[in-house]
Structure formats: structure tokens, C-alpha cells
Amino acid sequence: MKVTLCSDSQGRFVANKLVNLSNGRVNAFGYVRPNTIFTQVVDSTSLSRDSSPVIILGGSNDSLNNNFKDIFENLEDRLTKLSKSRPVFLCSIPLRYDKATNSIENQELRLVNNYIMELTARMNNVFLIPLHSLERYHFTSHGLHLNNLGKTELAYTILRSLSLWNIENNVLRSPAVEQSNDILQKSMGHTANLSILENLSIDYENIKIIEENMDAVINKFKHDKTTAFLHCISNCRQMSAGVAVSFRKNFGRPKLSDLLNDYLSYQESKEGTAVYGLITKNKYYDKSTVEDYNKAFDLTTEDFKLKKFKHLICSPMGCVRNQIPVKIFAKNIVLFQRSTGASVGIVTHDEKSARILLNGFSYTTFVKLLEEEITNSIKEETTAIHWLNSHLPLTSASGLSALDNCHRNPVLK
């Protein structure tokens, strides 16, 4: 399926994610126009004049300018003209987490989003992509822009909306949709019912919690060259508490030459053991930010696949001392397993300390919460994959536009 994504800077890298998360079954052309208001993003759709679906993401700059007048006065007219020739998917505007939830800015955003929902409800061939599922941790530390995890969630939401449209389209088909699907069916023949994510799955059995001391686990696997260890460190590489002590004792502190980038270190012991260090804060006494944590996890996933490891052993990183929510760790580790296909062992131990650990939970409660959040994250991902498998047709094209490739960060995806 071919789609066009027109957006302000919130949509950067999202077209690439649509291709990757659909396993190449969606061919996404991405056009990003930073610092533009909503209707200017809509005008960008003129760059692609075919009948394929177009996705519109904008409005953040209207909010920054504290002026939604243009949306109320001109958006409907533009959508009326555009929707005559192609299906239009309109994203609601993300709330601003650089402002209080009940701030005037967010109250106005809710009013505008109500208007957007009203338009999609009464206009033909215009569909809503609701972004109410986005939470605080989907945004950067500043709170205005989506972080990598948020853009992944956005891409999943878009794919779900495309799937729903495809189901409804079998019953009520506009002329533009009819033409688009006829072209698709002629080009694909009998392959339209193949699984969109046939090579991607999440295995319940491949993510396990191991209640054992990390030293004992390291000793068991230190000669296994198909296994990599993973833990959190600071940029100063102090490694003076928790599982970091076990890694320092067994492998030493990472050297400057071991740094792959600002977010990741990589060591190899004389036995051949591989050890990744997620660099999520500057000093050991700082607290990790969710933004840096997600970036480090993303880079680990890519390097792990590049080095073709089969197994990962880690602790519930960041959840013991650095107050990273268990839900964030669970989402990242499930995404890691789905992307790499590796088996994952999460090592946890009832550590005694005078400090408040485990986000204030008792050890027993923490392990139960960890199990629940991993299960919930697996269910969410599995539901999304099943939905896409069942309803989104296969496309032969898997490339990215040259323009979208220009916007890609060479490291972060």
C-alpha cells in the first residue's frame, strides 16, 4: 500500500517507521515541513497528486503561535477539495506536555481536536487518526516534541487507522478508494491476503524473569559468544552500586575506546563475552531521563542485530535506582525482542539497601509489577500485529522516498 505523510517536524522519521513496522508492506513517502501551520501542511499534499491515501499531521506550531483561527476558518475548505481525489487521514493535534494538563493552551487544543473530530465525522473520505493514546513519556524532556518511542507509537496508530479504513472500505468505497484498491489488486494478484508482519512476532517464552544474583548468571554465560549482557551506566562510568558492581568486577569499567556513541558502550572480555552499557545520564548521582533511555535502547537494538547475537541478559534497567517507570522498561524490552527475535533473560534479585529502591515497591510487588507490565506490553504489540496481519493488504514496494531519507538520522531510526 502506498501512502503519503505530510507533516510538521513532529512527523520526522515516521514514514521510515511505517515501512519498518509493516515489514515493507507499506510504501511511505514522507514530506516534512518544519515551522509550518496546519493548513500549510495540508497544502503540502499537492506534491503527490495520485489517489493513494494521504496522512496529515500538524498543528503544533499553531499552538506555539497561540492562534487556531486559520484552522477554524480554512481547514474544512481545503479538506473538501482534497478528499474528492483521495482518502485523507487527519491526525488530532498532540497535547503539549511543556504546559500543565489544564493550561489554557491545552484547553484550546482540546477544543480544536473536537473540531477536527467533528470534521472527520461529517465529511466524506476524511478519517481520524486519534492521538489521545500518547502519554508524557512519548515526548522529549521538554514536553513539546515526540521522542523516538512516541513516534513509534504514532506509526502504530497510523497503521491501525489504515487497517480500519481498509475493512470499512470493503463495504463503503468512495471513487478514489475504489481506484486505489483496484490498482493494488491488479498489481498484487492473489498476494493481498498475505500477512503484513509475517516475519515479526513476539514470543512469550522468549522473555523470562530470572530471580538470581547477577554474578551467578554472568558466571554461567560468560563463555557463550551468542549472548550479550546489557546494563545501565553513567557517562562518568562510576559503577559503584547495584548490578553495575557485578559488571565492573567481572569486566572492568568501559574505556573511552569502548564508547560506540554518546548513548552506548560495548566491551568484549577475553572469554569473548559481550557487554553493552546504556549511557543514560552524565553523573552516577543523576537520574536517567526517559528520552535518553529510549535512545540508548534503540541504538542497542540496532547494534545487537548487526552483531547477530541470539540471547540478551539484562536487569530491569533503570527501574531499581533511576526511577524509570517499569512500563517504559517493559515496552522497550518487548520492542527489542520483537525486532531482534532474541531470547531475553531479565535478572532480578532482592537487593538490600538503605536507599529507597524499586520505585518504592517491595521486592515481591516489584517482580509482580514487572511481570504484569511485560505481559501488557506483549499483548499490546501482539494485538497490533494481529490487527495488521488480518486487515492490511500486502504491497510490493518497500522503499523510502529520497526526501524522507534526507530527513533520516543516520543513527537513530
Which of these ranges, 257-266, 311-320, 349-358, 404-413, has the smallest mean pLDDT? 404-413
Confidence of residue 385 (pLDDT cuts 50, 70, 90): low
* CA nearest to 313, candidates 246, 360, 377: 246
Average of per-residue pLDDT values in the chain:
79
Alpha carbons 13 and 128: distance in angstroms, whole number: 21
User: Cβ(334)–Cβ(302) under 8 Å?
Assistant: no
pLDDT greater at residue 37 or residue 161? 37
Q: Does 132 or 404 have the greater pLDDT score?
A: 132
Strand partners, 210: 347
DSSP state of 48: -
User: Greater confidence, 176 or 343?
Assistant: 343
Question: What is the DSSP pairing of strand 227-234 with strand 274-281?
Answer: parallel
Q: How many CB atoms are closer than 10 A to CB 312? A: 25
| Nearest C-alpha neighbor of 143 from the set 307, 324, 10, 19 | 10
5-32: per-residue pLDDT in tens?
Answer: 999 999 999 999 998 888 788 889 899 9
Predicted confidence at residue 413, as pLDDT, reads 32
Whether 309 shows a pLDDT value over 90: the answer reads: yes
**For position 161, what pLDDT does the model report?**
83
* Model confidence, pTM: 0.53
Lowest mean pLDDT across 86-95, 163-172, 230-239, 256-265:
163-172
Domains defined for the chain, CATH in brackets: 2-171 (3.40.50.1110), 204-378 (3.40.220.10)
Question: Contact at 8 Å (CB) between 190 and 49?
Answer: no
pLDDT of the residue at 98: 92
> In which band, very low, low, confident or very high, does the pLDDT at 92 lie, cut at 50, 70 and 90?
very high
Q: What percent of the chain has pLDDT over 70?
A: 77
Bridge partner residues of 89 (DSSP): 55, 127
